[in-house]
Structure 1
Amino acid sequence: MADRVNVSFFQELMAAVAEQGRALLPKALFRDEGGESIEVLSRALMSGRGEASGVAIARQLLNQFKKAGSDERLAFYRFLADDLQPDAGAVAEAARNYLDQPSDKTLARLQKASYSPRLEFFRRLNLAAGATAEIVALRADLLRHIKSDEALAAVDRDLERLLSSWFNRGFLVLRRIDWQTPAAILEKIIQYEAVHEIRGWDDLRRRLDPKDRRCFAFFHPALVDEPLIFVEVALMREMPDAISTVLDSRSADEQAPPTTAVFYSISNCQEGLKGVSFGNFLLKQVVEDLARDVASLRTFVTLSPAPSFARWVDRALASGSEVPVSADDRKALARLRDPRWVEDAQKDAPGTDELQSALMGLAAYYYLMARSSDERPVDQVARFHLGNGARLERLNWLGDTSEKGLREAHGLMVNYRYDLGEIERNHEAYADEGTVAASRAVRGLLRPLPKAKGLAVVPDLLALPGASKTKRTRNGEPQS
């Protein structure tokens, strides 16, 4: 409540400053019918007027932006991209001076010359009351326009840089979400859930049950009732292998204390904060808080989706690339084209073992061996958890048989384990060498690669944790 009072007071103060600033500015900037264009207001904001005038212009600019159509907004973004950028000549001259005579003074001049005017523009725009939330919304709109105009990417880089500073961990507040949380926030939890849909208030109440559930969210003082990211946790007796055991059931023995905290859903809420990292701080703090508050907890794991796995399988099979798929595997995997395959698999119909073996072998390769152009795992969820120091603990066959789970991952789900004694070591190994920390059970699922000249190529297990310190070059060959 104190946060709301403080923000409300600040907003009222800035609104009063803005109203006083209006009296000092040309009336044309504040015509009731439309006012000046966003570009004219932008130039006025950058003109060096006083703070009070700047607050008034910033508020008028944001008001105009809300009313602007798509074409006018695109013109505004192009103005930011073309007109508000460092002077190339001044940057080149400052760089030459620094190279000729390196010193603190010439370095300072280079830094000043290369500083983007867009950063100053958004800093001034943020003077208006409530502007931070509106700038976050502005970036969400900008990201949609970038798809059709890549020249706007420079504007986005500056804005992401600024938002990363404004939303750094020091400003974030961790709050537990429970049934006493204001309804406005609970409605947003339902709206923003991105992993496992919340089907109404009864479903939400179940997920917030204090007996065996927890939910935590990060908030920012400038967006008091807007969660930035939240995580849902189930307190259980064992590591689950299917999402149904988390969402649809209760512990058979409610008297037995939970031993396992399961992070089963992490949802980013603000599209305009894409690229600004919150999840790593959130999970680490929640683990610490749960370990302190629930003394019986010994294991911290996720039950995570594999949202890109099905697409990767399709591409791997179509390209004929060197993935561990035999002719028999291809025959078994062809069953995935039948919409009824999962029903047959749940009944353990003939051919289920062959399909499971082929799919899980591909999954092991996907997580342990497949790499993107930056030599990191191709799965974004894996990048997140491995980068936080988790271990790839288990791959779960038919972990999610919902329509979404089958479409995106052929039902696959993954357990990542956060071992408090290994997190830092795993993080360093992944950050420095790209090493994937994985259990023996996962490594044991790797299959031989397709035969080449009569020989089966076995994946290099020496590159995996617990075997060797061998490093690998960018092309995957061992480097001594």
Structure 2
Amino acid sequence: MAAERGDGGGAVTLLADMLSTLLQRTYRAGGQGRADTRPMPELATDLIGATGEISGLTLARTMLDTYADMDDEAKLDFFRYLAEEMTISPPEVRAALDAYEAAQTRATYRAFMTAAEPPRQELFRRLNQVPGATSALVAMRADLLRLGRKDDALLALDLDFRHLFASWFNRGFLVLRPISWESPAHILEKIIAYEAVHAIDSWDDLRRRLEPPDRRCFAFFHPAMPDEPLIFVQVALTRGVPGSVQGLLSEERTQIAGEDANTAVFYSITNCQSGLAGISFGNSLIKQVAADLSLEFPGLKTFVTLSPIPGLLRWLQSEAHSYDPNDDEAMRALAARYLIGARQPEGLPRDPVARFHLGNGAQVHQIHARADISDKGLRQSAGVMVNYLYDINKVSQNQERFAATREIAASSEVRSLSAAAEKALA
């Protein structure tokens, strides 16, 4: 441990953390941290060049507080400054690469690494030294994605956020926590607020999803954001594979003991932080939850989702395919064709949920009509839903084939449905 190092490094780190926390409390109390009203570019330049720990922490907190008070126009100006002024210098990169190519030494490699990294990455790292900064930087990236989605220079800036976040939110740093009816109220409030698949209408609705013995919920947290779930999954323990979310969530359903279940159904997976878009947690979450549930309930043999098909009707309409939402078998066949045959130019499935689960090594298992008759379900897919099967013995194989050749793993039933739709559409 750092505190046991003979060189005193642990003590220095502990002192820095204590001073940082003290500074944060001072600013919250209206102390001198907000007295520095210089423009953000000037603060950023000084922070990059700061050599003192306390001055660096002061500048970082001032910048984060100033940014939090900005309107969208000021935020865009700041992002453009980062994109245009704190980027790499192509001549310096070329010169450093030439020097490294001529003599591959530690010094030339370090010089190339320095030249190839834009100064804004170091700025983000220095901002991240103060308490609460990680959450603030995630929110900053959410602003960037919202405001800069049509600006190539700002999209390039986003690559730096993604590069850093991929390291900061590495699976090794994430903590899996069960969420239950006994969890703190502020966490439960966020589960209600963030739920994006099947809306939670009330505290009673949430209680029905968390308290029964055949219900589970798990979330990933990060130590720097201990009160903010990054992603969570809701699980139903059942006998057999379900074909209706209404049945799973019904107040009148018959509860079973977890020990009596043979199937774990991942019926809702929600990413909570828009500022972490593109940072993948779902694959690790599903596999970890499946492993934990298997230990708790050895009788579980099947792990499936009950997933929406959000792009189905949009695809049918864009392809000018006629359909009858009341013809269950036809809708199942069209859904199968969409999931297997509708592709993006690079060969990936057109449906975003399919891309996620197939990329994780799942199989398109069963398709159900009238499975989600909520307004949202009818609007997106005429109520059709799909089970993706996570076969522990085949997940790695499926994942590798999908990554290498875009081959989609699907049951024989689903393939037959897809073939029938293809023939009907010909």
**TM-score under structure 2 length normalisation:** 0.89
Q: 2:66 aligns with which of 43, 64, 80?
A: 64
Q: Quick one: distance in 1 between partners of 2:307 and 2:111?
A: 49
Structure 1 residue 169 corresponds to structure 2 residue 171 = yes
Moved more, 210-219 or 146-155: 146-155
- Label 1:425 to 1:406 Cα distance change in 2 as closer, same or farther (>3 A): same
Deviations 1:274-329 (A, max 9, x none): 11111111000000000110122111110001111111111111xxxxxxx6xxxx
- Label 1:20 to 1:457 Cα distance change in 2 as closer, same or farther (>3 A): closer
Greater helix fraction, Structure 1 or Structure 2: 2
Structure 1 residue 388 corresponds to structure 2 residue 360 = yes
- TM-superposed deviation, 1:243: 0.7
Deviations 1:398-429 (A, max 9, x none): 11111100111121101011111111111111
Q: Quick one: distance in 2 between partners of 1:208 and 1:457?
A: 44
Deviations 1:115-166 (A, max 9, x none): 1211101000111221111111111111111135332111111011111111
SS of residue matched to 2:417:
coil
Q: 1:293 aligns with which of 296, 301, 308?
A: 296
Q: Is the 8 A contact 1:368 1:436 kept in 2?
A: yes
Match of 2:87? 85
- TM-superposed deviation, 1:64: 0.6
Match of 2:266? 263
Q: Quick one: distance in 2 between partners of 1:123 and 1:110?
A: 19
**TM-score under structure 1 length normalisation:** 0.80
Match of 1:197? 199
| Structure 2 residue identity aligned to 1:301 | V
- TM-superposed deviation, 1:97: 3.6
- TM-superposed deviation, 1:446: 2.0
Q: What are the ranges of 5 or more consecutive residues in structure 2 without an aligned counterpart?
A: 1-13
- TM-superposed deviation, 1:389: 1.3
The size of the alignment, in residue pairs, is 409
Q: Quick one: distance in 2 between partners of 1:41 and 1:98?
A: 33
Q: 1:398 aligns with which of 367, 370, 392?
A: 370
User: Superposed, which structure 2 residues align to 1:12-411 within 5 Å?
Assistant: 13-16=19-22, 32=35, 35-99=37-101, 106-249=108-251, 252=254, 254=256, 257-317=260-320, 330=322, 333=323, 335-336=324-325, 345=326, 352=327, 356-411=328-383
- Label 1:202 to 1:20 Cα distance change in 2 as closer, same or farther (>3 A): closer
Q: Is the 8 A contact 1:260 1:301 kept in 2?
A: yes
Q: Quick one: distance in 2 between partners of 1:99 and 1:275?
A: 34
| Structure 2 residue identity aligned to 1:386 | L
Q: Quick one: distance in 2 between partners of 1:135 and 1:289?
A: 32
Q: Is the 8 A contact 1:146 1:153 kept in 2?
A: yes
Q: Quick one: distance in 1 between partners of 2:71 and 2:25?
A: 26
- TM-superposed deviation, 1:20: 10
Q: Is the 8 A contact 1:214 1:233 kept in 2?
A: yes
| Structure 1 residue identity aligned to 2:229 | P
Moved more, 277-286 or 363-372: 363-372
Match of 2:396? 424
Q: What are the ranges of 5 or more consecutive residues in structure 1 without an aligned counterpart?
A: 1-7, 22-26, 318-324, 337-344, 346-351, 459-480
Q: Is the 8 A contact 1:11 1:130 kept in 2?
A: no
- Label 1:457 to 1:228 Cα distance change in 2 as closer, same or farther (>3 A): closer
SS of residue matched to 1:376:
coil
Q: Quick one: distance in 2 between partners of 1:385 and 1:290?
A: 19
User: Over alpha carbons, which structure has the higher Rg?
Assistant: 1
Moved more, 360-369 or 441-450: 441-450
